[in-house]
Amino acid sequence: MAGQISISSIQKMKNLSADIQNLLREAVEARLSSYSPYSNFKVGAAVLSEDGVIFKGCNVENASYPIGMCAEKTAFGAAICAGKRKFKAVAIIADQEKVFTPPCGGCRQFMSEFNEIDLYISKPDLTNVLVTSLKDILPLQFEVNADYSF
């Protein structure tokens, strides 16, 4: 609904559904595969497709920084290769202990291509989870022929 604003919240991991807890653990596991020799900043993502299948991705750096790949895009790439086009949720875990690490702007726009998605962002210890949605962190995303009249 145009103009509606939702509020993100911080939830205890133990209070989330078993499916989302599993999704978060898969993102942690994906982070361990990160190829990040330049920044040493490991990020993992896990994408839950509409039919319940989880796809994982990690960041992959390159000496030519702009051509590296974010964890979210590698997870979505795996899902898309498997024929998936509709997604329920994404979990993101990065190496920051004190703050939540949301997706970069490019990943936000990339994810908006598919459908409205719930986001679960946690620190590595998985104690607290920032629960939000793509709509909340990317208002007015770019869309071909979008009508932004209010």
Q: Binding site: what residues are annotated?
A: 59-65, 70, 104, 107
Which are the contacts of 53, defined by CB distance < 8 A and separation ≥ 6? 79, 82, 84
Binding residues for substrate, as ranges, are 59-65
- The DSSP letter of residue 147 is -
Binding residues for Zn(2+), as ranges, are 70, 104, 107
116 is an active site residue: no
Continuous segment of H or E residues that includes residue 110: helix 105-112
Give me the DSSP letters along 22-90: HHHHHHHHHHTT-B-TTT---EEEEEEETTS-EEEEE-B--SSGGG-B-HHHHHHHHHHHTT---EEEE
Per annotation, catalytic residue among 26, 50, 72, 113 = 72
Q: Catalytic amino acids? A: 72
